[in-house]
Amino acid sequence: MQKYFISEEQLANKIIDNDDVFHITSVMRSKIDDQILVSDGNKTYLVKISSLSNKMVSFEIIKEEAGNNEMPVFVTIFQGYPKGDKMEDIIKHGTELGAYEFYPVMMKRSIVKIDEKKKQSKLDRFNKIAKEAAEQSYRDRLPKVVDILNLKQIDFSSYDYKILCYEEVAKEKEDSNFKNIVKKLKKNDKVAVVIGPEGGIDKDEVSYLMNLGFIPCALGPRILRTETAPFYVLSSISYEMELK
């Protein structure tokens, strides 16, 4: 059953009046009395469509759905800003794999420059991708792409565990730091994961992060591309905590 993330206001008014109307009416060809799932990002409801037009869908709530598709821990991906459309892919697949939120991070070796004027439109586009991926993957919660920041603007003090994905330790055959952390995770822990851009993390950035308590981790013996590392991290945490 198709799920739509809507605003708190839309939920209070029991209407959908944004881009999703087109999806509901023209893509899914829904009719009156059809059931869909709606969520305000906190709670999910099974609802019945009560009226349809090309501008608005109104609905009645049937019942609250027990949401249990969320990771037991909150994993925030701090992704060194990569080239091309890799950030979109990371947000899309990272959302499916259960990431809590994303910060694209401008690092020393990030090649792309984002000026302040374009930042908001980039964030809007990233959040739209997260919304679509969250709906498609049956997330209960809508992950946010919070902000595009420089590394030193980020406050990492509230995280319980701090993982630095670092290919140089993979080359030295480090093979236990990541799993040691994942094995310790308990429900509701907050996990910060920092991943460098294509050229890797600069040594000064590594020192800075290690001083803040980050643990340099290898993700297996092979050298992963920047866009593959978040998939490894999220998949492994899901495998460890969500499968029996």
Q: Are 45 and 10 in contact (CB under 8 A)?
A: no
Nearer to a copy of itself (CB atom), residue 208 or residue 232: 232
Q: Is residue 243 part of the contact set for a copy of itself (CB under 8 A)?
A: yes
For residue 176, state whether it binds a copy of itself (rule: CB under 8 A).
yes
User: What does the DSSP assignment read for 58-119?
Assistant: EEEEEEEEPP--S-SSEEEEEEEP-STTHHHHHHHHHHHTT-SEEEEEE-TT------HHHH
| 242 touching a copy of itself, by CB under 8 A | yes
Site for a copy of itself in 206-235 (CB under 8 A): 219-225, 227-228, 231-232, 235
**Separation between Cα atoms, residue 155 and residue 81, nearest integer Å:** 18
Exactly one of 41, 80, 82, 98 binds a copy of itself (CB under 8 A); that residue is 98
Complex with a copy of itself: residue 167 or 205, whichever CB lies closer:
167
**Choices 7-15, 27-35, 174-182, 206-214 (CB under 8 A): range interacting with a copy of itself:** 174-182
What is the full DSSP assignment across 187-235? TT-EEEEEE--TT---HHHHHHHHHTT-EEE--SSS---TTTHHHHHHH
Q: Are 242 and 71 in contact (CB under 8 A)?
A: yes
Contact flag: residue 84 with a copy of itself (CB under 8 A): no
* Residue 240 binds a copy of itself, judged by CB under 8 A: yes
For residue 10, what are its two tokens?
């839309």
Cα separation, 43 vs 96, in Å, equals 18
Least separation in angstroms between CB 220 and a copy of itself = 4
Rounded to whole angstroms, the Cα distance separating 85 from 188 reads: 31
Q: How many residues bind a copy of itself (CB under 8 A)?
A: 38
d(CA 103, CA 122): 12
How many contiguous H segments (helices) and E segments (strands) does the chain have?
8, 12
Q: Is 137 one of the binding residues for a copy of itself (CB under 8 A)?
A: yes
- 195 binds a copy of itself per the rule CB under 8 A: no
63 binds a copy of itself (CB under 8 A): no
Among the residue ranges 14-22, 102-110, 132-140, 206-214, the one whose residues contact a copy of itself (CB under 8 A): 132-140
Binding site residues, a copy of itself, CB under 8 A: 68-69, 89, 92-93, 96-98, 136-139, 171, 173, 175-176, 178-179, 182, 219-225, 227-228, 231-232, 235-236, 238-240, 242-244
